[in-house]
């Protein structure tokens, strides 16, 4: 990281009063720090690595299940009590099964074991809630809608061990003041680099459009991209559904069509030299192909866990600041490990947009203190790379105002998350 120069006073009085302040009958003095960052922007660096795990990757499935269960519990609590009660379902685990795919068919030998783990409010005023039924229904529905070739009746064993949450954390959570449930931080950046955008767009293209043209491609797709100077090398792993691939020649044809379609698509986003490789572990001479019965690698030994995959912006970006926090499945009301990562990315994007071409890159971080109001972090920081010869003081004020306004409206994120309007992986 480059040396940072502080351009603004350490404390700032907010320009508007948030709902949290109204409830407390007070104004707030947020600790918002705007620094100039003297790093070389990622686009100007010689090497860049970016990864995107598709929706069918075991880690992404774990994330998706955890988040779908959380949303279902939120809706149940809202319907019954007009508020979201304490829960965290961010510990879902996937234990890979065993399969025997073959051209034109194949079979699942041992189903994949999926364990829903976490904590929830299980009873209110002595009334026991159907939280496990709610969780199981949400999980089955998510798998059916996401994994088209997975037989949810025989291809998986779904287990739920969600139990009652910590009394201390629940006490903090249930206050109307909406206090942070943890001392944690969120991290974000903007804008996406060309390589990052290509990686994100390519996986979505494969799983949303190309799979319709080539139904042999399953949902378990991973895209790894390396930029070396002006050359971009993209490696794709795509699981094929064995029942839709009658023979070796058909497999090879699908691989070539996949490569050509991805190259044509990704080339729209760059003028750099682009190379696309698909299923590089294949060895046709020795009969090694990436065939699966369900289009998912979890059927044959690949395990998955919440938080091991994409960050809330949908990418894994080792050249950028990142949080190790698992956001999927965390409650969307006061869990800063979720809210602050989402807000950090949104704030970075907004600050970059406000700066136009005068702000090259923004890194944001928000740090909470357990038991403190979520709209009053211990510190909110934006590190900004400015273009040459710009009014840094002006953009420093604007960046601070953006951060302050977004913190004031952090409560708006909750229902956007519950309604599935914000992706977290």
pLDDT digits (tens, 9 = 90+) for 319-343: 999 999 999 999 999 999 999 999 9
In a domain, 218, yes or no: yes
In a domain, 104, yes or no: yes
CB atoms < 10 A from the CB of 20, how many?
20
Looking at the DSSP assignment, which residues form a beta bridge with residue 13? 29
Residues 124, 262 within the same domain? no
- What CATH number corresponds to the domain at position 287? 3.30.300.340
Looking at the DSSP assignment, which residues form a beta bridge with residue 247? none
pLDDT at 27: 54
CA-derived radius of gyration, the chain:
23
- Please state, in angstroms and rounded to a whole number, the distance separating the CA atoms of residues 363 and 348: 6
Residues 15, 60 within the same domain? no
- In sequence order, which ranges of 89-186 are alpha helices (DSSP H)? 131-146, 167-173
- What CATH number corresponds to the domain at position 27? 3.30.300.280
Residues 65, 165 within the same domain? yes
Tracing tokens 């190790």 back to the chain, one arrives at 324
Closest CA to 360 of 46, 39, 2: 39
Compute CA distances 120 → 62, 125, 291, whole Å.
18, 15, 39
Query: Which residue among 275, 302, 329 closes a domain?
Result: 302
In a domain, 244, yes or no: yes
Read off the pLDDT band of 173 (50, 70, 90).
low
Query: CB-based contacts of 79: which residues, under 8 Å, 6+ apart?
Result: none
pLDDT digits (tens, 9 = 90+) for 85-142: 999 999 999 999 999 999 999 999 999 999 999 999 998 888 889 999 999 999 999 9
Compute CA distances 422 → 3, 312, 332, 345, whole Å.
34, 9, 11, 12
Residues 294, 336 within the same domain? no
- Please state, in angstroms and rounded to a whole number, the distance separating the CA atoms of residues 308 and 324: 8
Residues 220, 245 within the same domain? yes
Residues 96, 127 within the same domain? yes
Vertex 384 angle, CA 383 and 389, to 5°: 150
Residues 325, 187 within the same domain? yes
In a domain, 238, yes or no: yes
In a domain, 315, yes or no: no
User: What average pLDDT does the structure give for the chain?
Assistant: 90
In a domain, 344, yes or no: yes
Query: Which residue among 140, 173, 206 closes a domain?
Result: 173
In a domain, 89, yes or no: yes
Vertex 211 angle, CA 206 and 215, to 5°: 150
Residues 81, 150 within the same domain? yes
Question: Regarding beta strands 217-228 and 47-53, do their DSSP bridges make them parallel or antiparallel, or are they unpaired?
Answer: antiparallel
- What CATH number corresponds to the domain at position 135? 3.30.300.10
pLDDT digits (tens, 9 = 90+) for 206-236: 999 999 999 999 999 999 999 999 999 999 9
Side-chain-side CA neighbours of 307 within 13 Å: the count stands at 16
Residues 360, 394 within the same domain? yes
Q: Give CA torsion, residues 390, 392, 397, 401, to 10 deg.
A: 70
- Strands (DSSP E) contained in 248-378 are 273-278, 291-292, 304-305, 359-367
Query: Which residue among 302, 331, 357 closes a domain?
Result: 302
Burial profile 223-250: b = 16 or more Cβ within 10 angstroms, e = fewer: bbbbbeeeebebbbbbbbbbbbbeeeee
pLDDT digits (tens, 9 = 90+) for 26-52: 456 899 999 999 889 999 999 999 999
- The domain total for the chain is 3
pTM over 0.85: yes
- Strands (DSSP E) contained in 111-216 are 112-116, 119-120, 123-124, 127-128, 156-160, 163-164, 185-190
Residues 59, 95 within the same domain? yes
Residues 63, 28 within the same domain? no
- Determine the structural domain holding residue 387 and report its residue range: 4-44+183-192+320-418
Q: Are 50 and 199 in contact (CB under 8 A)?
A: yes
In a domain, 258, yes or no: yes
Residues 187, 199 within the same domain? no
Q: Are 156 and 143 in contact (CB under 8 A)?
A: yes
Read off the pLDDT band of 23 (50, 70, 90).
very low
Vertex 354 angle, CA 352 and 357, to 5°: 65
Closest CA to 423 of 325, 335, 328, 316: 328
Higher pLDDT, residue 249 or 356? 249
């Amino acid at each position: 990281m480059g040396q940072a120069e502080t351009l603004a006073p350490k404390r700032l009085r907010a320009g508007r009063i948030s709902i949290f302040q109204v409830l407390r009958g007070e104004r707030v003095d947020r600790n918002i720090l705007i620094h100039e960052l003297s790093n070389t922007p990622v686009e100007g660096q010689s090497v860049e690595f970016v990864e995107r795990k598709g929706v069918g990757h075991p880690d992404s499935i774990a994330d998706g299940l955890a988040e779908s269960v959380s949303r279902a519990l939120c809706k149940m609590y809202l319907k019954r009590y007009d508020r979201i009660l304490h829960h965290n379902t961010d510990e879902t685990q996937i234990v890979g099964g065993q399969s025997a795919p073959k051209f034109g068919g194949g079979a699942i030998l041992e189903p994949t074991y999926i364990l829903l783990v976490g904590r929830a409010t299980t009873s209110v005023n002595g009334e026991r809630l159907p939280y496990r039924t709610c969780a199981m229904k949400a999980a089955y529905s998510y798998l059916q809608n996401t994994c088209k070739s997975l037989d949810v009746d025989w291809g998986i064993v779904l287990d739920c061990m969600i139990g009652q949450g910590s009394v201390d954390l629940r006490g903090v959570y249930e206050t109307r003041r909406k206090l942070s449930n943890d001392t944690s931080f969120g991290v974000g950046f903007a804008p996406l680099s060309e390589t990052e955008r290509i990686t994100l767009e390519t996986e979505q293209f494969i799983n949303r459009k190309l799979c319709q043209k080539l139904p042999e491609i399953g949902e378990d797709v991973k895209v790894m991209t390396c930029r070396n100077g002006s050359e971009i090398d993209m490696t794709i792993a795509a699981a094929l559904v064995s029942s839709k691939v009658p023979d070796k020649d058909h497999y090879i044809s699908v691989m070539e069509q996949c490569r050509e379609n991805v190259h044509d698509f990704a080339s729209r986003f760059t003028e750099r030299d682009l190379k696309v490789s698909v299923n590089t572990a294949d060895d046709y001479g020795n009969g090694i192909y990436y065939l699966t019965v369900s289009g998912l690698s979890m059927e044959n030994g690949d395990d998955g866990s919440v938080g091991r995959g994409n960050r809330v912006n949908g990418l894994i970006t080792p050249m950028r600041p990142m949080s190790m926090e698992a956001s999927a499945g965390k409650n969307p009301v006061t869990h800063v490990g979720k809210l602050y990562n989402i807000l950090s990315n949104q704030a970075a994007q907004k600050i970059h947009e406000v700066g136009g071409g005068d702000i090259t890159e923004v890194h944001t971080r928000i740090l909470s203190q357990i038991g403190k109001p979520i709209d009053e972090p211990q510190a909110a920081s934006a590190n900004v790379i400015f273009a040459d010869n710009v009014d840094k003081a002006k953009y420093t004020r604007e960046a601070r105002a953006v951060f302050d306004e977004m913190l004031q409206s952090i409560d708006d994120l909750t229902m956007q998350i519950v309604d599935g309007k914000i992706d977290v992986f």
